[in-house]
Amino acid sequence: MSDHDYVIVGAGSAGCVLAARLSEDPSLRVLLLEAGPRDRKLEIRIPAAFSKLYDSDVDWGFRTASQAGLDGREVFFPRGRVVGGSSSINAMMVLRGHRSDQVAWGPGWSWDDVEPAYARSEAVFPRAELGDRNPLTDAFVEAAVAVGIERCADLNAPPGEGVGFVPVSQRRGRRFSVADGYLRPALGRSNLDVVTGAHAEELVLENDRATGVSYRHADGRRDAIATREVILCAGAVGSPHLLLLSGIGAGSELAAAGIRPRHELPGVGKGLRDHLANGILVATAGAETLHTAESIPNLLRWLLRRRGPLTSNVAEGAAFVRTRATLAAPDLELLFAPVLFEEEGLAPPSQHGFTLASVLLQPASEGEIRLASPDPTAAPVIDPRYLTDPTGHDAAVLLDGIRLARRIAATEPLARFVTQELLPGAAAVGEADLVRHLRERSQTLYHPVGTCRLGSDEYCVVDAELRVHGLDGLRVVDASVIPVLPRGHTNWPTVMVAERAADLITRADSRHSG
């Protein structure tokens, strides 16, 4: 049994920020629980090696439920299970989205409200340019400009659209995760305890208050007591899962799953949105792609000088575009990787080539996380319900993306490297062929949000200060509270959420003690 002011569950992107920020006050005792191990693997450090972490001991290695919109496929759904969480296994892209995204977050979360939190994070978690960008990525940007997409020097600055090079979370050619930026410098503090290999199984609830967390460790089951708050930072899958296991959710569904309902909150796990991606895969000649990056000379180059193709984050270029001129902000992202990203990244590239992926920025399809079993060690059901929106909006945007990607691939200076379109393949020209390709090949871009949505309607789980509705001593602070997908990627927005939460929590603290 241990006793702390704050018990934080999950040392991922959000948990690392909160543990570091809250423990800045030496009078507060903070405990950070993480199911996975320390982030010591070499593949975490080597940027281009991130897909080697898939299905490894630092990945939860989830699969979605069978997806009706994707030919019944169970989509590979990686999530970091390690200190740093998904920021230790991600593709390091630092793209926060469009300023207008904040409108849907409601009071307290406008752009003017969140901008200071972004600014604070930049001092700790800076973004960098790739040191050794692949020449094909330059050719992609020039070809995109040639088809009429505006060149953009900084994809994070207004207007939030156009084509450019992707900024990355790296320092001197190696991954710089949120754990590197925030947690590592705080580890020496005597008021911060970090326990790895600690799988939280249930919240301890006394009446309407969360007072601790029960977790499984190598030496058995332990309880951690929180005298002020329990803060869930277990991510868009882990946080709703733990709430449901603790009897917090839709009572009838909990009872049906074999869990005693404790607190009615029907939105827990609902509202899941994710970025769906679909690539055209193109074989090339005349360029050294990342197909040959994995070699002894390149490993030595990386080890000795932190240079060479192993410093690549793979997805090196991006374009944010509006598929219709009447839209106020981009609805499509094109991501360029100078390598064939095959079989959801689970297979090594078979030959030289590039991937130009269309990403659906604002999906209408909505899914959920639900219990598969009352056993806390069993994975929950992850059901994003990709491409199931009744109007067909989502497929239409991705089809526009495939057509635009093909135009760029056929335009100089990129076109000169192209030998053959491998997928969907030159024979796939009609809409039916392209829709078949969408259903057979689309994959996640790994950005689930919304499963503990912030706001005040019946399906919201936390209020504007990220406190769980109707319970004391309990907050959720991670990607699960993000109500709408950013027109960007989710890591930096999650860091922003945690920076802002730290501010809200310490301000509430000083109100109580003052």
CB 480 within 8 A of CB 449: yes
CB of 246 to ligand FAD, least distance (A): 11
Between 200 and 471, CB nearer to ligand FAD: 200
Amino acid letter, residue 193: D
Residues engaged in binding ligand FAD (CB under 6 A): 9-15, 33-36, 78-81, 85-87, 89-93, 198-200, 233-236, 238, 242, 446-447, 478-479, 489-492, 494
In the complex with ligand FAD, the residue whose CB is nearer, 55 or 132, is: 55
Provide DSSP, 257-317: TT----EE-TTTT--BB--EEEEEEEEE-SS--GGG--SHHHHHHHHHHS-SGGG--S--E
- Sign (positive or negative) of CA dihedral 84, 87, 88, 89: positive
**What gap in Å lies between CA 408 and CA 128, rounded to an integer?**
26
- H-helix or E-strand containing 369? strand 368-370
Active-site residue, from 447, 469, 489, 512: 447
Instruction: Give me the least distance between CB of 297 and ligand FAD, in Å please.
Output: 27
CB of 370 to ligand FAD, least distance (A): 16
447 catalytic per annotation: yes
Shortest separation between residue 288's beta carbon and ligand FAD, angstroms: 23
Residue number with the shortest CB distance to ligand FAD?
Answer: 12
Least distance in angstroms from the C-beta of 221 to ligand FAD:
13
How far apart are CB 319 and ligand FAD at their closest, in Å? 16
Which run of H or E residues covers position 200? Answer: strand 199-206
Query: Do residues 323 and 332 make contact, with C-beta atoms less than 8 angstroms apart?
Result: yes
Nearest CB to ligand FAD, comparing residues 19 and 136: 19
Q: At 272, give phi and psi (nearest 5°).
A: -70, 125
Q: Which is nearer to ligand FAD, 36 or 164 (CB)?
A: 36
Question: 358 near 41, Cβ under 8 Å?
Answer: no
**b vs e for 40-76, b when ≥16 Cβ sit within 10 Å of the residue's Cβ?**
ebebbbbbbbbbbbeeeebbbbbebbebebbeebebb
Instruction: State the Cα–Cα distance between residues 299 and 376, nearest whole angstrom.
Output: 40
> Which CB sits closer to ligand FAD, 53 or 434?
53
User: What is d(CA 383, CA 99) in angstroms, rounded to the nearest whole number?
Assistant: 29
The single-letter code of the amino acid at 332 is L
Q: Which amino acid is at 89?
A: I
Residue closer to ligand FAD (CB basis): 77 or 140? 77
Residues labelled as active-site residues: 447
